């Protein structure tokens, strides 16, 4: 038997109804905040992620699906390609490639789609998973650096989770400052780590030498008390970074969005500057992050583009659905409005015409088959639809159809011209 590859899964009905509910609700919220959809390729050149996500990160150093795409013609070169592990790099590449900055306006873009990372599969962690994300990016003259943009994105996320009916989420927030602040903090950390790093895990010993800030991500229990004694980044921020962050917090306070500050939240990607954040949910267990994001003021330039500060987030759609399922928001079984049972194969064609007529009026119709005995039609219909329409030679000639409503067991004679109206009535009548 051929199974789906490790770390991938099939989403089946009725769960797909819950996925559609999530996506529809999310699209409504994006619309209210005037975001527009962007769709970028599922694979990109490997170099995009190496530069845009960072060689040092877990994603680039060990989680990417990369292959050498061989040339098909002499004129073509082989190229290293990668299934996208995240979508921010692709969006910013697209922003640069299509010169969206030339409009002089702020670009507010959202995406919904699959991402790929070679991770150890477990609950809430898959090798193909779906992210819902958004980016606000543009030239500084469009206001892309304003702390109001950060606060608006965070307030939108709070609204979005509330709209979805997700309760008990927690917003954690930090500022990692400008690139210069981070460099200064890295030096402060390096000095502080000199005295203690020999008693820390091997990963931390390596990070202390290459990129000390990553020590804050360490999950090894024995290292935690040591990390708690390290200097915090807030003390290394310059005046402008402090003021920016203070304005983000003030706007959140004014909008009554609850948050906690977390000095250790530096996020896994190298490109973040100033505001970084995560929304977590206790119901998710070890994989408790619903979404993460932050500001990336230097990313466009890192990818060879113009200056284009921005802020964005990526939300794990799989984890949103898991959270809803844990809250017992089980996906409802969706039943068709009616099942058409033709009495004999000679009525199949007439049944298709009737189905077409009703479907064109917006009804959800399941079409049976004239080779089924009536008893079998009833059995199948009872599982898939709220009502069954019997279509025999008599019904076709007279234009009066027999409709059985399963919830009540009542059979009703309905003229064909009134059928659509009848079928939209609640099935309990």
Query: Which spans of this chain sit near ligand ATP (rule: CB under 6 A)?
Result: 86, 117, 119, 124-126, 129, 131, 268, 287, 289-292, 314, 316, 318-319
CA distances from 216 to 87, 191, 213, 282 (A): 25, 15, 6, 21
Q: Which is nearer to ligand ATP, 138 or 292 (CB)?
A: 292
- The edge-to-edge listing of strands for the beta sheet with 365-367 is 365-367, 338-342, 387-391, 400-405, 410-415
Gap between the Cα atoms of 258 and 253, Å rounded: 7
Q: How far is the CB of 317 from ligand ATP (least distance, A)?
A: 8
Give the Cβ contact number of residue 56 at 10 Å: 15
For 228, the 3-state DSSP assignment is helix
Q: Which is nearer to ligand ATP, 316 or 368 (CB)?
A: 316
Q: How far is the CB of 409 from ligand ATP (least distance, A)?
A: 46
Q: Which is nearer to ligand ATP, 127 or 386 (CB)?
A: 127
Element (H, E) at 412: strand 410-415
Q: How far is the CB of 303 from ligand ATP (least distance, A)?
A: 18
The Cα diameter of the chain in Å comes to 94
Gap between the Cα atoms of 387 and 339, Å rounded: 6
Q: Nearest-CB residue to ligand ATP? A: 316
Q: Which is nearer to ligand ATP, 30 or 129 (CB)?
A: 129
Q: What is the 3-state secondary structure (H, E, C) of 104-168?
A: CCCEEEEEEEEEECCCCCECCECCEEEEEEEEEECCHHHCCCCHHHHHHHHHHHHHHHHHHCCCC
Element (H, E) at 275: strand 273-281
Q: How far is the CB of 260 from ligand ATP (least distance, A)?
A: 17
Q: Which is nearer to ligand ATP, 77 or 120 (CB)?
A: 120
Contact criterion met (CB below 8 Å) for 340 and 368: yes
Q: Which is nearer to ligand ATP, 86 or 297 (CB)?
A: 86
Q: Which is nearer to ligand ATP, 249 or 314 (CB)?
A: 314
Please state the φ and ψ torsions of residue 152, each to the nearest 5 degrees.
Answer: -65, -40
Q: Which is nearer to ligand ATP, 150 or 318 (CB)?
A: 318
Q: How far is the CB of 368 from ligand ATP (least distance, A)?
A: 40
Q: How far is the CB of 336 from ligand ATP (least distance, A)?
A: 33
Q: Measured at the alpha carbon of residue 268, what is the angle toward residues 263 and 271, in degrees to the nearest 5?
A: 95
Q: How far is the CB of 124 from ligand ATP (least distance, A)?
A: 6
Exposed e or buried b for every residue in 102-124, given b needs 16+ CB within 10 A?
Answer: eeeebbbbbbbbebbbbbeeeeb
Q: How far is the CB of 122 from ligand ATP (least distance, A)?
A: 9
């Amino acid at each position: 038997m051929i199974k789906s590859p490790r770390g991938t899964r099939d989403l089946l009905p009725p769960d797909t109804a819950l996925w559609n509910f999530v996506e529809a609700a999310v699209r409504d919220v994006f619309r209210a905040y005037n975001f527009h959809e962007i769709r970028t390729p599922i694979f990109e050149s490997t170099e995009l992620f190496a530069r845009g996500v960072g060689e040092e990160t877990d994603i680039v150093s060990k989680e990417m699906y990369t292959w050498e795409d061989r040339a098909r013609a002499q004129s073509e070169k082989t190229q290293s390609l990668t299934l996208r592990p995240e979508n921010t790099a692709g969006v910013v590449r697209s922003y640069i490639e299509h010169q969206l900055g030339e409009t002089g306006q702020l670009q507010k873009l959202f995406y919904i789609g699959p991402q790929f990372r070679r991770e150890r599969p477990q609950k809430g962690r898959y090798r193909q998973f779906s992210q819902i994300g958004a980016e606000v990016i543009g030239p500084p003259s469009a206001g892309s650096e304003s702390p109001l943009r950060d606060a608006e994105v965070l307030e939108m996320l709070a609204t979005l989770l509330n709209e979805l009916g997700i309760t008990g989420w927690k917003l954690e927030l930090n500022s990692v400052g400008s690139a210069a602040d981070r460099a200064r903090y890295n030096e402060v950390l390096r000095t502080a780590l000199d005295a203690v790093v020999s008693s820390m895990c091997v990963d931390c010993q390596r990070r202390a030498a290459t990129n000390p800030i990553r020590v804050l991500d360490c999950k090894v229990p024995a290292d935690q008390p040591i990390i708690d004694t390290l200097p915090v980044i807030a003390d290394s921020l310059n005046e402008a970074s402090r003021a920016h962050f203070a304005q983000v917090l003030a706007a959140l306070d004014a909008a009554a969005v609850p948050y906690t500050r977390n000095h250790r939240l530096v996020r896994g990607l190298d490109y973040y500057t100033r505001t970084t954040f995560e929304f977590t949910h206790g119901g998710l267990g070890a994989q408790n992050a619903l979404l993460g994001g932050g500001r990336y003021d230097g990313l466009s330039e890192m990818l060879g583009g113009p200056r284009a500060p921005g802020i964005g987030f990526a939300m794990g759609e799989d984890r949103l659905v898991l959270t809803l399922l844990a809250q017992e928001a089980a996906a409802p079984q969706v039943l068709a409005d009616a099942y058409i049972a033709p009495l004999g194969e000679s009525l199949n064609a007439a049944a298709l015409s009737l189905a077409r007529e009703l479907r064109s009026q917006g009804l959800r119709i399941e079409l049976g088959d004239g080779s089924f005995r009536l008893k079998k039609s009833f059995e199948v219909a009872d599982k898939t639809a709220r009502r069954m329409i019997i279509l025999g030679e008599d019904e076709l000639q007279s234009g009066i159809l027999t409709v059985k409503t399963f919830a009540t067991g009542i059979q009703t004679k309905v003229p064909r011209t009134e059928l659509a109206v009848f079928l939209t009535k609640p099935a309990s009548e």
